[in-house]
């Protein structure tokens, strides 16, 4: 009985700590969002790629993971493109949350608010089912349940939902052989900000900056070392 009581106490303490941390996160996020000018991109990255044509974006779920040889070639192609356009990656942790971490880094100057980003994206998907359901090849409620889970990989449907929720143009520099650059625009709204991400096809997302201007972030776990 003593052990069970101790477990309950530890669990209660853990829940309180988690709740307190979430509240602190909410306050920080609210403060950042209140300073809207800090969220508006100055267009420097956009000017570098303004001559590129973006293909129409079609939301889709994750495709087949490439085999190691193809993945290596894809990564080399992406690295060459980033070098060509004077861009550099802020490496995100490879824990399944990389898309949400990269969006968080672009929005809030920190990848640590990825839980908030995921929560808001799932809310968007749930509230506006008609916008996204046709792109999901499974029962929609199962898709929503899956996307709520930490560590579940984001896809191009969640990217569209993020663009809609945060009124952002998401600029994606990709490793695709025939598609260097994709713009994901919010539906029926003018974007208020630009978010720059790299996409190593079906493997990983990172946050993009001008070469030489990648901020220093404290990383608490291992990340992709590619």
Is residue 35 pLDDT above 60, yes or no? no
Q: Alpha helices of the chain — where are they, by DSSP H?
A: 2-34, 44-48, 68-84, 98-108, 114-127, 129-132, 140-148, 156-165
Question: Residue 182 — very low, low, confident or very high, per pLDDT cuts 50/70/90?
Answer: very high
Beta pairing partners, 173: 181, 198
Does residue 200 sit in helix, strand or coil?
strand
Average pLDDT (99-117) is: 97
Q: Are 74 and 203 in contact (CB under 8 A)?
A: yes
CATH number of 42-210: 3.90.70.80
> What pLDDT is stored for residue 6 in this prediction?
47
| Catalytic sites, residue numbers | 95, 98, 204
Q: Are 70 and 200 in contact (CB under 8 A)?
A: no
Query: Residue ranges per domain, the chain?
Result: 1-34, 42-210
Does residue 107 sit in helix, strand or coil?
helix
Round the average pLDDT of the chain to a whole number and report it: 81
Orientation angle between helical segments 98-108 and 114-127, nearest 10 degrees: 100
Strands 168-174 and 181-184 come out as antiparallel
Please indicate whether residue 143 or residue 1 has the higher confidence score (pLDDT): 143
Q: Give phi and psi for 68, each to the nearest 5.
A: -55, -40
């Amino acid at each position: 009985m003593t052990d069970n009581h101790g477990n309950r106490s530890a669990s209660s303490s853990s829940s309180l700590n988690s709740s307190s941390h979430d509240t602190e996160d909410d306050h920080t996020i609210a403060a950042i969002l209140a300073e809207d000018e800090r969220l508006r991109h100055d267009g420097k990255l956009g000017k570098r790629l303004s001559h590129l044509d973006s293909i129409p974006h079609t939301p889709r779920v994750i495709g087949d993971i490439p085999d190691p040889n193809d993945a290596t070639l894809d990564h080399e192609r992406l690295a060459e493109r980033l070098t060509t356009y004077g861009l550099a990656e802020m490496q995100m942790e490879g824990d399944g949350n990389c898309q949400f971490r990269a969006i968080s880094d672009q929005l809030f100057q920190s990848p640590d608010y990825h839980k908030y980003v995921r929560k808001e994206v799932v809310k968007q998907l749930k509230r506006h089912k008609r916008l996204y359901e046709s792109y999901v090849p499974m029962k929609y409620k199962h898709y929503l349940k899956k996307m709520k889970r930490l560590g579940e990989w984001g896809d191009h449907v969640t990217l569209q939902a993020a663009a809609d929720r945060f009124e952002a143009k998401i600029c994606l520099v990709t490793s695709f052989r025939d598609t260097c650059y994709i713009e994901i625009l919010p539906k029926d709204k003018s974007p208020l900000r630009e978010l720059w991400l790299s996409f190593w096809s079906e493997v990983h997302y990172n946050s993009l900056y001008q070469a030489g201007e990648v901020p220093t972030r404290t990383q608490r776990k291992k990340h992709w070392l590619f």
